[in-house]
Copies of this chain bind each other. A is one copy, B any other.
Amino acid sequence: MCIFSTFKISSSSIGHNLFYRIALRRTHAPFSKPSMVATTEESLRRDFAAKQASVEAQGNAVRALKATGAAKPEVDAAIEALNRLKIEKAAVEKELQSVISRDSGDGSVSREAFRQAVLNTLERRLFYIPSFKIYRGVAGLYDFGPPGCAVKSNVLAFWRQHFVLEENMLEVDCPCVTPEVVLKASGHVDKFTDLMVKDEKTGTCYRADHLLKDFCNEKLQKDLSISAEKAAELRHVLAVLDDLSAEELGAKIKEYGITAPDTKNPLSDPYPFNLMFQTSIGPSGLLPGYMRPETAQGIFVNFKDLYYYNGNKLPFAAAQIGQAFRNEISPRQGLLRVREFTLAEIEHFVDPEDKSHPKYPEVANLEFLMFPREEQMSGQSAKIICLGEAVSKGIVNNETLGYFIGRVYLFLTHLGIDKSRLRFRQHLANEMAHYAADCWDAEIESSYGWIECVGIADRSAYDLRAHTDKSGVPLVAAEKFSEPREVEKLVIAPVKKELGLAFKGNQKNVVEALEAMKEQEALEMKAALESKGEVEFQVCTLGKNVIIKKNMVSISKEKKKEHQRVFTPSVIEPSFGIGRIIYCLYEHSFYTRPSKAGDELLNVFRFPPLVAPIKCTVFPLVQNQQYEEVAKEISKSLTVAGISHKIDITGTSIGKRYARTDELGVPFAITVDSTSSVTIRERDSKDQIRVNVDEAASVVKAVTDGLKSWEDVWSNYPHHSAESTDD
């Protein structure tokens, strides 16, 4: 039911491509601002223009009075009126300014400051750093340092547990190096492009839409003098930015006189730049290849083997975690737009005639922020909807899609994403590939705005069909009937002998054209042959019409027994940008609190133990051999229990040691202050309990593995009140 029979793909609508491309544009797109805001801004701009005109007019009036030597009281009254007008103008200006900056997504000062605080901490503690720093780095490439690497590995381990293990998915691991033919079939070779302009003198490259967007935003935010009409036009350009063709973009750039940002040189016309890293496979130089821009194709080309592995049964899902590569024209926004990143993708193959899911009831009662197409179009905001209701009302296309939306919600919130800053936004018609049945993005709000972190699309049969066509290998499934079904089938049987006599060398073309007739056309021919004995028939491959006589073809409807139904499965694809999820998690987990002395702000990441890069630290309270021995004993038990931890035996004050590890998001600290018992401190509450030395590791393991909550242990162990230590 959701299968489209055409295969045309449009530039911005290869489902996978969307993933890293549409998202950021959305942060400034119109439906993330209620339309009321635009109305307020518009009326304020009009007001401001009117006040400015009044001030000018009154100023002229005052000057005229002075010039004509009018009486002082008259002049004073006019000046007073002028001042009143100026105050009114200033009030409107202030209001307009605040509407614009509130509205500009990433313009707010406090957001910038917050982001800077997070970034400073992340870079200083090596969560991530620009790659190849000693060689001045390369834009869009980042290294994960030790804590970042641990967080990533924890997120991926949980992803495997939550999706692959829970659903018995077939995980595969395919190479990044991909021969051209595969990406030709998928559409990437021809369509995976961004529009680029070049500085005509220096050759520096820019993304055409970025320049236009920056121009419009800057104008809207900094130039209060533009008319309400002009402002509306610029907002419209921002809204339709994704839909502009190369010609339209070029025309706008010319119209607005946009030049190269650094040099102010003129710019070339926009032209498409393919975002794949190209290389050559083997020594001959004759086999072009690319670094895969997504992991999904590796699954699609293996469909046949995977289906067989699954006992030739649908539905089943395959999954892959791996690197993907996109040679961005000018990467910005840190971890959110990079040239190499880790994707985790699921391809869930399903019978297009049955998209139910056995585990759907497990998520149907979940309620969370959803942003359906209709709400976006009518300028409303996202609202809390019950998933089951969204599916039953048809807002979400089908149960399986709904099931994955629910599972993604559980996955993200479990990691520590704030559920009030997570929404599922449905793609608008113009965003979605024409073949897609439905598509929802899990968007997370960060200091950069709402960021697409997971795309969940029902891509119908598009991908398998594309590879079937290109490879000639049918990527199909079959439903075996429990007993054979009788179906009526049209049978077109050309009589080759007669056709050969009539058409000689052209016989083959005529036969093929006859066999290719659609049911309706064939039945019309049958009727015509029966009534008139012959009929004119167009053979496209010959470029002419021929006369078909009654003895040349037999057309009939026959009853046949069929034992199975063969079809191309639909695919439902949840696709996770791991780096983006992690970055948003950093922002949602970060907070500051004053030090005990109140003289500085200390940074904390409130990671749940599942995510925390290190689960526990072990500190001897003072440098002392006995305490160090105990610390080493505990460390050994933690290693055996598989709890990643760190010993810190430096003489630094215990408060400083806590602060250092709070900044890494370490949830628990064991402080050794005697040889028989120790304290365990929880990061966010700073609460401490006393535990026997030989129990310490098992208590930490219980709270880390989620078998017990901190509240459980807090109520089961004596509390430790050493106010003075935590500083």
Contacts and interface: CB of A to CB of B under 8 A. Distances in A.
A467 interface: yes
Contact of A173 (B144, B170, B176): B144
Query: What are the 5 tightest A-B residue pairs by CB atom distance, in nearest-first order?
Result: A144-B173, A134-B471, A205-B283, A134-B473, A146-B170
Contacts of A289: 138, 277
A129 B305 contact: yes
30 contacts: A125-B309, A126-B309, A131-B298, A132-B179, A133-B302, A134-B301, A134-B475, A141-B175, A141-B177, A142-B175, A143-B174, A143-B175, A143-B298, A144-B173, A145-B170, A145-B172, A145-B302, A145-B305, A146-B172, A146-B309, A149-B173, A152-B173, A153-B160, A161-B642, A176-B323, A176-B325, A196-B283, A279-B291, A281-B327, A291-B291
Interface in A453-493: 467, 470-471, 473, 475
A168 interface: yes
A619 to B, nearest CB: 14
Interface of A: 125-126, 129, 131-135, 138-139, 141-146, 148-150, 152-153, 160-161, 165-166, 168, 170-179, 181-182, 196, 203-205, 273, 277-284, 287, 289, 291, 298, 301-302, 304-306, 309, 311, 323, 325, 327, 329, 339-340, 467, 470-471, 473, 475, 639, 642, 644, 646, 650
Contacts of A470: 135
Given A129-B305, A301-B133, A327 B176 contact: no
B473 A311 contact: no
Given A302-B143, A650-B311, A179 B279 contact: no
A716 to B, nearest CB: 23
> Which among A129, A165, A204, A650 has the greatest number of chain B C-beta atoms within 10 A?
A165
Contact of A165 (B133, B145, B639): B639
Contacts of A473: 134
B171 A146 contact: yes
Contact of A279 (B279, B284, B304): B279
A298 B181 CA distance: 32
Given A129-B302, A132-B179, A142-B175, 10 more contacts: A132-B181, A139-B282, A144-B173, A145-B309, A153-B160, A165-B639, A168-B646, A176-B323, A277-B279, A283-B329
Nearest to A472: B134
A177 B135 CA distance: 14
A461 to B, nearest CB: 16
Contacts of A176: 176, 291, 323, 325, 340
Given A172-B149, A283-B327, A305 B133 contact: yes
Given A144-B173, A171-B149, A639-B165, A179 B282 contact: no
A132 B301 contact: yes
A177 B339 contact: yes
Nearest to A156: B153
A618 to B, nearest CB: 12
Contacts of A298: 131, 143
Contacts of A642: 161, 165
Contact of A135 (B125, B134, B301, B305): B301
